[in-house]
Structure 1
């Protein structure tokens, strides 16, 4: 059996959400200077009493999620004939938040950009808003704009922290600049005492895109050294090995996890069983499935019974294979399990039962080996001295390219008076 490659690691790169207190707060004399190395001088901030009253109330409403009530107040300030730049900037950042909450992405970006370009907010609010604009641009897939915004943020603040580096790596990944994404995420992870899981996911996804499986394995092994029983990391490492066609290593990782009691889901048991099968270890594969079923961790559904039948057949355990295929037959919507059942019964010298299974397989349809089913059905009939039925089955097998030659030989032999000899089961 061929084991299809597993899907690549899913990317879950969560971006920071808006912090209302950070975006909406006005400058305070006691506020900590978050950007001491900024090239921008703190602007003078003043607004009229009416502007202050309206915007303060609007800010409270936005923080409380009452955007519909806040919007008229914001628009009132912006419509004022003598509105100052600070009031305009403050109102625009509020307007950007309202639009964003309403999922009006373009107006939200425009208002937020306007609040920045007015250059009137205090440094903490101004640069915080600039960083959030970069996040908004990433979420709206404006990656080139986000790069420019981040570059400006770094240039004007002199700040480069792990979150910022990780956001840059996220952008590189989305731009399909995988090497840059991997290198940048490594920097972010190295610079942080508590790297976010999403950062590792982007790093792993980038390494996968680059087919750098060895490097990906090293990254995960480093993480497992800290948390050796982390099943998510264990499964990721197995996935890396599978994509690198290193099945023995994948088996070792998952089998050790099973010994520790970390493998508990049906998906994990089936994956390990398929790995054993792919590595031509059908006995181990069957044992894994049986263990999972016995423990109640694996439900003996069609997929499991069909797989168990396959690996038991490969392990030459006819009784196990026949039992599993019989269960799969009762659960199936096509005839493939019945075909395998008929095949096993035929070579177990249970011809009458094989005939029933093969006829049922053909009737259900959807067969991947329909020609072979007719060949074996013909053989069953021939060994039962029912030559007419045998010829009829073989003639149908002639219609399939994969079995035409076999069917031709059998028909020729029978018509020449040569009795068909039982062949050995193919391995």
Structure 2
């Protein structure tokens, strides 16, 4: 058996691609309906404690190109809105939503009244975890064009987030483009939603530009924003830029396993495997390897580094002994390879014997036969070759050559 074969074309492919472990920016507030209800009750309590007086809402969109219409309810429409809000305040969601639908269907009511009903309908749908229903209400609120700028653009922004949540990426991007064009907003919390939509549409270069603008404009950018920028750079083959972000996050959060794993993943994808192994070893030494994938990432890294086969075997055995690494085909075949390339043929044979029955075909039995042949264990090699043929191999002639050997 020729051990000079390229390390990436050895007896089996043991390399497991490192994967970034961060998540994308959350699209909307991930509260449950009960949490949102509790938040609303708390707001009401605060209002009562302050005597029920509220200052006029600050204009959140001072640079908007839209001229806000006069927001005024008629006597007839006002009574219907009050009835809807009474239901809403008493948390009678079914009745409140029915009242909102009734107002929306009444074309005799003015744009403000129907827009406001749509806005409340959207909130009720959202509270009920009905995102698609909320989007439909928000579209009506925007199209009716009866709200002040705060209500109008808040509805638009909420719709963009919900569209993102519903995997309607192109729609979300279109909504955000309109929102940003009409509000002239450069707020980071607005830009990041557009960046997220671009990322999900695989427009990584465009996403990186927008996300970086959001980060640069924020005094305290969120960690997940940094992670999304890092992902955009990686997908756009900008490994050096991704590494800078990963290293900064890891240095800022030395005890954060996810941040450290991200650094290792970025190093791996940038083919800096020695650096990746060093980061992962620190985590292993600190007892932070608690998942199957942790061990797999480290042993795969070692198997792709010259002269690190013994280290790979040590990692695999530790994971198996602790019951964290699953004793499956991949683990055993990687262990066999680790032993083989560190000149431990007997242990390699034992590992192959565990891997071969779990293999999807007969190739592992054939590799076992080759190693047994190399060790002059001809009868065992022939038996392994038989198993290989029975299970199926790409080159039966290789197995037949072993079967044709004369026993010593």
Compute the displacement of 1:324 (Å).
Answer: 1.2
Q: How many aligned residue pairs are there?
A: 376
Distance 1:33 1:368, change over 3 A: same
- 1:346 and 2:358 matched: no
Quote the residue 2:333 is aligned against. Answer: 306
Q: Which moved more, 1:254-263 or 1:328-337?
A: 328-337
- 1:186 and 2:198 matched: no
Contact 1:224/1:230 (<8 A) preserved:
yes
The unaligned stretches of length 5 or more in structure 1 are: 385-427
The unaligned stretches of length 5 or more in structure 2 are: 1-6, 9-14, 31-35, 45-51
> Deviations 1:11-33 (Å, cap 9, x if unpaired)?
633212497889xx9x9752441
Contact 1:165/1:188 (<8 A) preserved:
yes
- 1:154 and 2:183 matched: yes
Compute the displacement of 1:195 (Å).
Answer: 3.3
* Root-mean-square deviation over aligned CA pairs: 3.5
Quote the residue 1:35 is aligned against. Answer: 60
Distance 1:359 1:269, change over 3 A: same
Distance 1:124 1:264, change over 3 A: same
> Deviations 1:97-128 (Å, cap 9, x if unpaired)?
566768584x7556424423544334432332
> Deviations 1:232-268 (Å, cap 9, x if unpaired)?
1222222222222222222222122222222232222
Q: Which moved more, 1:304-313 or 1:284-293?
A: 284-293
| Equivalent residue in structure 2 for 1:125, among 147, 151, 154 | 151
Contact 1:166/1:184 (<8 A) preserved:
yes
Compute the displacement of 1:4 (Å).
Answer: 5.5
Distance 1:6 1:367, change over 3 A: farther
Contact 2:21/2:261 (<8 A) preserved:
no
| Equivalent residue in structure 2 for 1:89, among 105, 115, 119 | 115
Tell me the distance in 1 between the aligned counterparts of 2:333 and 2:105.
71
Contact 1:342/1:354 (<8 A) preserved:
yes
Q: How does 1:311-326 map to 2 (within 5 A)?
A: 311-326=338-353
Contact 1:143/1:174 (<8 A) preserved:
no
Distance 1:81 1:251, change over 3 A: closer
Q: Secondary structure at the match of 2:28?
A: coil
Tell me the distance in 2 between the aligned counterparts of 1:324 and 1:64.
67
Compute the displacement of 1:146 (Å).
Answer: 1.8
Tell me the distance in 2 between the aligned counterparts of 1:64 and 1:237.
50
Q: Which moved more, 1:288-297 or 1:73-82?
A: 73-82
Tell me the distance in 2 between the aligned counterparts of 1:37 and 1:331.
66
Larger RCO (CA under 8 A, 6+ residues apart): 2
Contact 2:365/2:385 (<8 A) preserved:
yes
Quote the residue 2:243 is aligned against. Answer: 217
TM-score (norm 2): 0.78
Contact 2:349/2:371 (<8 A) preserved:
yes
Distance 1:102 1:189, change over 3 A: closer
Compute the displacement of 1:67 (Å).
Answer: 5.4
Q: Secondary structure at the match of 1:15?
A: coil
